[in-house]
Structure formats: structure tokens, C-alpha cells
């Protein structure tokens, strides 16, 4: 899977090789693999909880690690081209008039199983989108936007956010 930023050769995610943390400050993580380059990571076979704990610990220690967001490639990813994105809601949710508070639960990882090609749209919306627009859709309508295979429809969520669909 090649998850690159739109219009760039830059990868959206870092490849975490060791549970010990970044290699060094100059080039802390690999951003991509060469063709046929093997990748051996200390996270192969790790649980979601292991990945979450690592992210919370390392983002507190290193300011260049993305805050409250992880992407997990798991066994399923290899067979159906999906990626598990997890977003940590740290602060109390945003209250949206007539709709409620989103996300409802704090100090919790919220997961979105998506097609890997939708990773940039989802992460951009959750991190940089207007929370009063994005959160009611991504958190309030998550069940509606998730198909029978458990895959969240990012394109439809984005269309709802921009008013092209209701």
C-alpha cells in the first residue's frame, strides 16, 4: 500500500520500526520503502492497544510525532486494501447546537476502517476540518456511513460535510 500525500511523493505516515521510539532526531522514521525492500518492525503482531499506548507515550516525548492519530496496517489490510485509522479524543467533545456533543466519549480511541486511498481525506478532516461540521458526520453518523464489511465511507462523509449530500 502506498499512502502518499496528494500531489507529492511524500508518505502520509511514518513507518515505525521499533517499539523503542525514533532512530534519531535527524531522520527518526522511514517514510517509504524501496521496491522489494524488506520491512521488519517491532510492531508486527502487536495489538491495537500496544500501538495506542506507544503513540500516547511517544507523542508526549517527541514533538514531531503526530498527535492523537495512528494508522495501523493489520492482517486484514493485506487482503482488502484497508487501513485502520484511530483518532484519540482527549478533550471534552464539541457541543453542536441541536445535535449534541461530538465525540461523546473522551480519553478514548475512535477507529475508522477505511480504504487506504482515503487516508489523507479522513486524517485532514479530523485534524484540520471545522469540528462543528466534521465531528457530527464522522462521529455522529459513523454507523450509518459504515458498510456491512465495517468500512467507513470517507467519500460520502466528505460529501455530507461540504453539503453535496445529506
Residues 36-51 have pLDDT tens digits of 887 777 888 889 999 9
- Whether the pLDDT of residue 27 is over 90: the answer is no
Most confident of 24-28, 67-71, 92-96, 151-155: 151-155
Domain residue ranges in the chain: 68-161
- Whether the pLDDT of residue 5 is over 60: the answer is no
HEC-encoded secondary structure of the chain: CCCECCCCCCECCCECCCCCCCCCCCCCCECCCCCCCCCCCCCCCCCHHHHHHHHHHHHHHCCCCCCCEEEECCHHHHHHCEEEEEEEECCCCEEECCCEEECCCCCEEEEEEEEHHHHHHHHHHHHHCCHHHHHHHHCCCCCCCECCCCCECHHHHHHHHCCCCC
Which pLDDT score, from 0 to 100, does residue 105 have? 92
Amino acid at each position: 500500500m502506498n499512502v502518499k500525500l496528494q500531489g507529492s511523493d511524500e508518505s502520509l505516515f511514518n513507518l515505525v520500526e521499533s517499539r523503542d521510539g525514533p532512530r534519531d532526531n535527524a531522520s527518526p522514521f522511514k517514510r517509504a520503502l524501496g521496491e522489494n525492500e524488506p520491512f521488519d518492525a517491532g510492531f508486527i503482531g502487536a495489538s491495537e492497544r500496544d500501538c495506542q499506548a506507544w503513540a500516547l507515550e511517544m507523542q508526549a516525548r517527541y514533538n514531531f510525532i503526530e498527535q492523537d492519530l495512528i494508522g495501523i496496517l493489520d492482517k486484514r489490510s493485506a487482503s482488502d486494501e484497508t487501513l485502520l485509522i484511530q483518532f484519540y479524543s482527549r478533550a471534552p467533545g464539541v457541543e453542536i447546537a441541536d445535535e449534541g456533543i461530538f465525540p461523546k466519549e473522551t480519553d478514548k480511541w475512535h477507529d475508522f476502517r477505511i480504504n487506504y486511498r482515503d487516508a489523507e481525506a479522513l486524517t485532514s478532516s479530523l485534524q484540520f476540518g471545522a469540528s462543528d461540521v466534521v465531528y457530527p458526520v464522522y462521529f455522529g453518523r459513523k454507523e450509518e456511513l459504515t458498510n456491512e464489511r465495517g468500512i467507513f465511507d470517507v467519500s460520502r462523509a466528505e460529501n455530507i460535510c461540504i453539503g453535496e449530500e445529506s
